[in-house]
Amino acid sequence: MDDSPRSAYEFGSFRVDARRHLLLREGEVIQLAPKVFETLLMLVRSNGRVLKKSELMEAIWPDTFVEESNLAQHIFLLRKILGEEKNEHRYIVTVPGVGYRFVAAVKVSETHDAARTYTAEQGTEVDVWPPASLAVLPFKTVSVAEGDEVLGLGIADALIMKLSGLRLIRVRPTTAVLKYAGASQDTLLAGRELGVDALLDGYYQRHGEQIRVSVQITRVRDGMTLWAAKFDESFTNFFAIQDSVSEQVVRKLELELSGSEQQQLRKNQTVNPEAFRAYIKGRYFWNRRTPEGLRKGLEYGREAVALDPAYASAYIALADTYNLLGAQHSVMPPGEAFPKARAAAERALEIDPQLAEAYASLAFVAYCFDWDWTAAESHFHTAIELKPNYATAHHWFGEFLSAARRFEESIASLRHALALDPLSLAMSTDLGATYYYAREYVRSEEELRKTLEVDSSFVRAHLILGAVQEQQGRGALAVDSLRRAAELSSGDPVILASLAHACAVNKQLSDARAILLELREESTRRYIPPYSMALIHTGLGEREQAYEWLTKAVELRDINVLWLASNPRFDLLRDETDFKELLRRGGVPQAAA
């Protein structure tokens, strides 16, 4: 079979475009993580031949040691994408103990000639492999005017919002490029860190009411400038520049857009510069994922919708902020945070019914607070269908699947999210957490160590690592990891409770009871999740008190209830009738319990 990089392979209703690294079904692009696509391409090219597992793993991960489970996850995901039912083998057949064989009839054809573009400096045409992935870096300012860095991030975020809805190219989310805001970065190094084919970046300068923006697209593998342009506008008409840049990028990359994609590209969420600035500031603080950052994000989000009540993206920012305030950081009681998140997401959909981000926010509320698993999964599917490259939707869907104990699907979804946003510490940590709940402690620790290698101060990674070490019987290390997490979080009650549990298990009973007393006193001044108190009493072996607090957790819809069926720290209670009744009342899917 022709292995030319420009070959295309057709089977059934599918077409694999080797040149552009795309899988299409009846002309519609199906998004695949790079390694999943490589797996499919290798299987298709070896049509009819058995590929050994070792052969596949060496080709797909040439410089990395991975376990067979990585390959198995890719095969599982491919079968799901290709529409194979359980025990059906229309495309991929497993040869037990050996490997896999692609069995569908495959037709080989040639893709179109390589696209051509030019460099602005040279004015000459060069062959360009159209990039399958793009990162938009925060724009730099020529001046040092106060607030300019926020505007530079805002330009990037607006372009990301416009381009990330396109199916023919994967665009890294704002969360992935945030670290480059205000920094003097090596552009090509940033591109390699982000794992993209091309970068879009530029400069801007304000002169009174005028603004000039210079933009370029750079190919990462060799640093070649593929396109460059300058735009001049009045600052009050700043949004026209975003439209012009995004339209020219699509044209230069020769992306064929559907009618809905063309409409999305021309859509502006606001024409109010001050509302836009408030929104960007809010997103900047939201992305810090700290309690204080979320509070500031909330302030700016409210300011943005006050300045422009029809600003859909600002309502999504509010919804996402309330979701995290009620879930991850326990800053707000669930009964206060989640209804506000729902209201904000529903308002966004009233303004724009096609917003994938709003459906993802509603899905989060549906399973974290309503405990309506059917509605949540439906909302997630809608979000991903509307915007296949929306990393947060895949991330939150992965967490949902983990809570439902559908671990294999959860891991596949989280790895897909990481393929879209490879630098996300939150996503890599949640992958480690899923392995923890699946009781694959070695795999969990591997993922968490990778996260901490990137940022040794990432609190949640220390939190999950401590729980893993506790289950491995490494009590002293668990206490050390959780003390580190508590220090980094400035005394987050959820983390203190986890530390107290580890201390109790490690026979440091006085330390555990001291934390318990501290949290009881603190609960008279602010919200302390009842789950946290239950966790400490469970560590101390105090069943009656643990059930008392778990009952309160169910009544208040504490999000941690959703993982009770999986969390090994509650194995002390697992076989008891009262615990099973709590799971039933807590909305945990019956198949999971």
Pairwise CA distance, residues 13 & 489, whole Å? 51
- The percent helix, strand, coil of the chain (3-state, each to 5) is 55, 15, 30
Q: Which residues pair with 211 in a beta bridge?
A: 206, 233
Integer-rounded Cα radius of gyration of the chain: 25
pLDDT at res. 284: 81
Q: Where are the beta strands (DSSP E) in 61-197?
A: 92-95, 99-102, 107-110, 116-118, 125-127, 133-136, 140-141, 170-171
The answer, yes or no, to whether residue 246 has pLDDT greater than 60, is yes
The torsion angles phi and psi of 124, rounded to 5 degrees, stand at -115, 150
The label of the residue with tokens 């220090």 reads 487
Contact 478, 444 (CB under 8 A): no
Pairwise CA distance, residues 305 & 530, whole Å? 33
Query: Is CATH 1.10.260.40 the classification given to domain 276-513?
Result: no
The torsion angles phi and psi of 406, rounded to 5 degrees, stand at -95, 70
Q: Which token pair is 405?
A: 């104990």
Fold type of domain 7-110:
Arc Repressor Mutant, subunit A (1.10.10)
Q: Comparing 293 with 483, which gets the higher pLDDT? A: 483
Q: Once rounded to an integer, what is the mean pLDDT over residues 460-465? A: 96
The answer, yes or no, to whether residue 341 has pLDDT greater than 60, is yes
pLDDT at res. 146: 46
pLDDT at res. 143: 65
Q: Which range has the worst mean pLDDT, 69-78, 147-156, 346-355, 536-545? A: 147-156
The answer, yes or no, to whether residue 203 has pLDDT greater than 90, is no
Where do the structural domains in the chain lie, given as residue ranges? 7-110, 116-258, 276-513, 529-593
pLDDT at res. 591: 44
Pairwise CA distance, residues 234 & 66, whole Å? 54
Fold type of domain 116-258:
Rossmann fold (3.40.50)
Sign of the Cα pseudo-torsion (561, 563, 564, 570, in order): negative
Q: Once rounded to an integer, what is the mean pLDDT over residues 557-567? A: 92
Q: Which residues pair with 110 in a beta bridge?
A: 7
Residue 183's pLDDT band (cuts 50, 70, 90): low
pLDDT at res. 114: 38
The answer, yes or no, to whether residue 475 has pLDDT greater than 80, is yes
Q: How far is CA 458 from the centre of its chain?
A: 16
Q: Which residues pair with 52 in a beta bridge?
A: 99
Q: Which token pair is 392?
A: 């947060």
3-state secondary structure of 169: coil
pLDDT at res. 383: 94
Pairwise CA distance, residues 153 & 477, whole Å? 40
How many residues make up the chain in this entry? Answer: 593
Contact 379, 363 (CB under 8 A): yes
Residue 118's pLDDT band (cuts 50, 70, 90): very low
Q: Quick one: DSSP state of residue 569?
A: G
Helix axes 312-326, 273-286, angle to 10 degrees: 20
Q: Quick one: DSSP state of residue 273?
A: H
Q: Mean pLDDT for the chain?
A: 85
The conformational region for residue 195 under phi > 0 = left, psi -120 to 50 = alpha, else beta, is: left
Q: Which residues pair with 170 in a beta bridge?
A: 133
H runs (alpha helix) in 196-333: 238-252, 259-266, 273-286, 291-307, 312-326
The answer, yes or no, to whether residue 144 has pLDDT greater than 80, is no
**What is the CB-side half-sphere exposure of residue 591 using CA atoms within 13 A?**
8
Full 3-state SS string of 419-481: HHCCCCHHHHHHHHHHHHHCCCHHHHHHHHHHHHHHCCCCHHHHHHHHHHHHHCCCHHHHHHH
Pairwise CA distance, residues 438 & 406, whole Å? 9
